[in-house]
Amino acid sequence: MNLKPAIIGNGSWATALAKLMLNNCSELNWFMRKQEDVDYMKQYGTNPRYISSVEFETDKINFYTDVTLCIKNSNFIILAVPSAFLYDTLAPLSKNDFENKIVFSAIKGIVPQHNLIVGEYMNNAFQVPLSNIGVITGPCHAEEVAMEKLSYLTIASQTQSYAESMSKLLNCRYLKTTTSDDIYGTEYSAVLKNVIAVAGGICHALGYGDNYLAVLVSNAIQEIKRFVDAVHPIDRDIKASAYLGDLLVTAYSQFSRNRMFGTMLGKGYSVKQAQLEMNMIAEGYYAVKCIYEINKQYKVDMPITNAVYKIVYEKKNPKKEIEYLSDLLS
């Protein structure tokens, strides 16, 4: 397959993925919504908004501000916009635009307008076959990729050749990849770990220590397993990097936006105040509501998710909710 890769998005992950892919391909299509960002990139070779330390050879990049044209001229599509904006970003497109396209999601969130993970949304809204859908998941932070610190990604697809093609695009001296066929479990785990990171941030701000966080995270991986096994019951090792590893890096890392968001909530910020001060998307904010709604169907025991939902959406007192949660953990 002659790969014509495209990145849709302009955030930290889009920037990190572009850096990786340009190690292994001679040409890359890149959709950015704002013309001024494209102009800046062409002039200075860096992203003006995210991870500006990364320098690009822009003569290898075809920039687009028209998403329809970008996808028309590509066959290997990597979605890397925040999940809350995916619906609007793809609004100009129809199912015909995605015919015979391979679509990978690097988005660790749920499309809130439909309460669907990205793969399901692409399948439902644009009739992209599940065999043509893949997931790029951690454990990995874009900032450490930019610094060329050794990192790992899991590439999931039900079509092994597509997973291998994506792996070859991303593999390099400081990035190692493994493949999986679990597109549901890896994607739902990537969503849920953001919810857990919000909980971890809240607990940190309330004065809980490392001992408590260890218990929170060990209970969290069990909660994630219960949920993904209910939604998509296949044989999977929840201790693998794509599940447990991704949870650990998001719950503990200084780069975790979701942990930062939770920390601000625990310190007494309102949701709106925290969002305004961060000026970044914390996927856990949208994810917890979607998971809470989805779980009305499955009725999985999810005490950590329920606590975060009550704090974020029902404006319950964080101190009281975490005290109640603490009695449920073991």
Question: What are the boundaries of each domain within the chain?
Answer: 5-181, 185-326
State the average pLDDT over residues 182-196: 95
Residue 115: alpha-carbon gap to chain centroid: 15
Please give the class, per CATH, of domain 5-181.
alpha beta
Cα angle 237, 240, 246 (rounded to 5 degrees) comes to: 130
Q: 173: which 2 tokens?
A: 């001296």
* Residue 118 confidence (pLDDT) above 80: yes
**CA angle 133-81-16, nearest 5°?**
90
- Distance of alpha carbon 23 from alpha carbon 167, whole angstroms: 12
Average pLDDT, integer, range 167-189: 96
Quick check: helix, strand or coil at residue 105?
strand
> Could you tell me where the beta strands, DSSP code E, fall in 85-244?
102-105, 110-111, 116-117, 133-137, 151-157, 175-180
The superfamily in CATH containing domain 185-326 is N-(1-d-carboxylethyl)-l-norvaline Dehydrogenase; domain 2 (1.10.1040.10)
Average pLDDT, the chain: 95
Sign of the torsion formed by the C-alpha atoms of 281, 285, 287 and 290: negative
What local confidence, expressed as pLDDT, does residue 2 receive?
84
Read off the pLDDT of each residue in 93-108 and give the average, rounded to a whole number: 96
Given a contact cutoff of 8 angstroms between Cβ atoms, the answer to whether 95 and 74 are in contact is no
- φ, ψ of residue 309 to 5 degrees: the values are -60, -45
- Which whole number is the average pLDDT over 196-212? 96
| pLDDT(297) > 70 | yes
- What pLDDT, in 10s, does the model give residues 65-76? 999 999 999 999
pLDDT of residue 1: 65
Cβ-contact 182, 155 below 8 angstroms: no
Confidence of residue 138 (pLDDT cuts 50, 70, 90): confident
Residue 139, φ and ψ in degrees, nearest 5: -80, 120
